[in-house]
Structure 1
Amino acid sequence: MRIGVIADASCDLPEAFLHEHDIGILPVTIQLGADSFDDHRDAAQTRRFYAEQLAARGLDAETQACSVEQTRSLLREQLMVDRDYAFCITLSATRGRTFENTAKASFAILADAQSGEQQAQPLALRVIDSKTMFSGTGVLVAEAAKLARAGVTPFEMRRRLEILRDSICAYMVPGDLYYLRNRAQHKGERSVDWFSYAIGTALDLRPVLLGYRGETQAVARLRGYEHAVERMFAHVARQVEAGLELGHLCVSYGGELERLAELPGYAALQDATTRHGIQLLASVMSATAAVNVGAGCVSVAYGGELRPFRL
């Protein structure tokens, strides 16, 4: 049985890994005033967005999931071609409409097959809410790709992914508090209020955010961006030492990867993964993610036990 894996454009994985495992990308539309483009996780397009558009127009940008009909068409005509079964893994249902629209599209595809409108061999599609985002979704998608290559059955794959998603721990340090606060206000969120922003800016306090089982919370507030990133990497390195459930972890950065390699704590994390045989998958953060969290954001995620964040 030919099993395909599909992710939405906010999933952070290296372009080489996406190509190697033939992972389909469900695009997200980024609206910049009168202009728009579809984020397909194209590396050159993402670099142009960071260099030319994010700083100037990011605060007013909008991200828009494909409609149900667009998703149905993309899945049937492009993303599920030459596949008997496909898993589409989306960012958390609490962070956008991608999961909802894709689930509705899957029902429409099933209805097509049952009515006889679909001329080709009937396809089966399972849509999974990752309950996480960015590098966290990357962890789940990477595992799905490896399971598909290993030849597991769709039932075994579905069961594995639905269990694993509840063990994904995704951490993030924002690079620009001003951008993060104003994006939150633009979207009507209350996660960054004015008082917290003013105090945080005055003291240069950076939150370390945890995404876990569909919820996001600050687990620490540390003085200085690089210090916060270093402590986040050190925490994840300790999890590698203690043992992970999966043989890979994902890191993404809102900018060029050369800068990621220079951040304090990253070399130590690389060393820990190498010593323990863990594959470190580093990528530029998607344009879709950057619209919402800004440049310079660092995200790292793994599948395993959630342990207290120690400073």
Structure 2
Amino acid sequence: MRIGIVVDSACDLPQDFIQQNDIVLLPITVRIGDAVLADHRDEEATLSFLHAHVAERGHEAETTPFTVNQIRDLFLSRLVIDYDHVYCMTITKTRSPIHENAMQASFAILNDYKPVRQAAGHNSPFALRVIDTQTLFAAQGVTAVEAVRMRAAGANVQHMRTKLEYLASNSHGYMIPRDLYYLRARARTKGDRSVGLLSVALGSALDIKPVLHGHAGKTEPVAKIKGFENAVEQMFKFAGNRVIAGLLTPTVCLSYGGELGEMRALPGYDRLRDICANNNVEVFESVMSLTGMVNVGKGAVVVGFAAEPHTFSVS
């Protein structure tokens, strides 16, 4: 059986991994003033757009995910021919309409695919499963990586579905934003008043950074740590401790809102990489998607993994 894997462009994975494993992207278009870029996970294009537009006016950006009709057309023109079963894994539905768009499109796809497949010489049925990863950015990559591994190992579709949905329910993303004023400006642009001016001003004045946790469709602060580099080091240390305790899949995903060399120079990075290597956990590093950067700002750091329930702690 030919199994296809689809993600949206907010899913932070290395560009070469996406290409080598034929992962199909649902691009999200970003507009800042007159500048427009469809996010196809091209790291060079993302960094160029970042330096030219995001740092100054990114909080004003408009992001447009693939519509119901665009998703339907992509599947009927290509995916129902190339694959027999497709898993479409999206950013949490609480943060983007792309999951709902994919769900609505799936009804039309499953209703209309037969003549398309028959014309291509395929008489077998086609199946599609849309999975809400319940998280975002680097943490989205966990389910996609496991889908690639399971497909390569010849897992059957029911086993894959069960495992991927289980991982989605147990995927965790932790993020340290660099610029709280940007985060507040972006939140206000989107009509989210949860980031108060007083808390932002206080946090910036004292150089306090929140640790934000994305899990089960929710994004909320779980700690406040003084200093950006110190906060990142504590987050990396915590992730390393979770690796030692045992993950649900041998995967850690990292993403950064800028050049990866900057992330690799942050304190705690080398220790986390060493721990992962010693525990046979594969690390995937990528420049944060353009969609992610316009929402959380330049220089944010994210780590994602799948693990049993736990509480973030600073040691």
- Amino acid in the other structure paired with 1:274: A
- Secondary structure of 2:239's counterpart equals helix
Does structure 1 retain, via aligned residues, the 8 Å contact 2:25–2:40? yes
State the alpha-carbon separation in 2 of the partners of residues 252 and 192 from structure 1.
23
- Amino acid in the other structure paired with 2:16: A
1:192 aligns with one of 192, 195, 215: 195
Corresponding residue number in structure 2 for 1:89: 89
Matched, 1:183 2:186: yes
Corresponding residue number in structure 1 for 2:104: 104
Q: What aligned pairs does 1:191-270 form with structure 2 within 5 A after superposition?
A: 191-270=194-273
Does structure 1 retain, via aligned residues, the 8 Å contact 2:174–2:212? yes
- TM-score normalised by structure 1 residue count: 0.96
- Secondary structure of 1:132's counterpart equals coil
Does structure 1 retain, via aligned residues, the 8 Å contact 2:6–2:25? yes
Matched, 1:128 2:157: no
Corresponding residue number in structure 2 for 1:294: 297
Does structure 2 retain, via aligned residues, the 8 Å contact 1:6–1:79? no
- Secondary structure of 1:95's counterpart equals coil
| Cα deviation code 1:5-56 (max 9, x no counterpart) | 0100000001121122111111001112233221111122112112212113
Of 84-93 and 183-192, deviating more is 183-192
- Secondary structure of 1:220's counterpart equals strand
Q: What aligned pairs does 1:41-80 form with structure 2 within 5 A after superposition?
A: 41-80=41-80
Does structure 2 retain, via aligned residues, the 8 Å contact 1:200–1:206? yes
- Amino acid in the other structure paired with 1:96: S
Does structure 1 retain, via aligned residues, the 8 Å contact 2:244–2:279? yes
1:174 aligns with one of 171, 177, 191: 177
- Amino acid in the other structure paired with 1:43: E
State the alpha-carbon separation in 1 of the partners of residues 158 and 67 from structure 2.
28
State the alpha-carbon separation in 2 of the partners of residues 117 and 19 from structure 1.
25
- TM-score normalised by structure 2 residue count: 0.95
Matched, 1:149 2:149: no
State the alpha-carbon separation in 1 of the partners of residues 153 and 232 from structure 2.
35
Runs of 4 or more consecutive aligned structure 1 residues displaced over 6 Å after TM superposition: none
- Secondary structure of 1:70's counterpart equals helix
Corresponding residue number in structure 2 for 1:19: 19
Does structure 1 retain, via aligned residues, the 8 Å contact 2:255–2:286? yes
- Amino acid in the other structure paired with 2:159: E
Q: How many residues align?
A: 310
Q: Which runs of 5+ in 1 are unaligned?
A: none
- C-alpha spacing 1:269/1:20, structure 2 compared with 1 (3 Å): same
State the alpha-carbon separation in 1 of the partners of residues 67 and 237 from structure 2.
40
State the alpha-carbon separation in 2 of the partners of residues 117 and 256 from structure 1.
43
- Amino acid in the other structure paired with 2:257: G
State the alpha-carbon separation in 2 of the partners of residues 108 and 154 from structure 1.
21
Corresponding residue number in structure 2 for 1:31: 31
Note the aligned Cα RMSD (angstroms).
1.4
- Amino acid in the other structure paired with 2:187: A
State the alpha-carbon separation in 2 of the partners of residues 40 and 150 from structure 1.
27
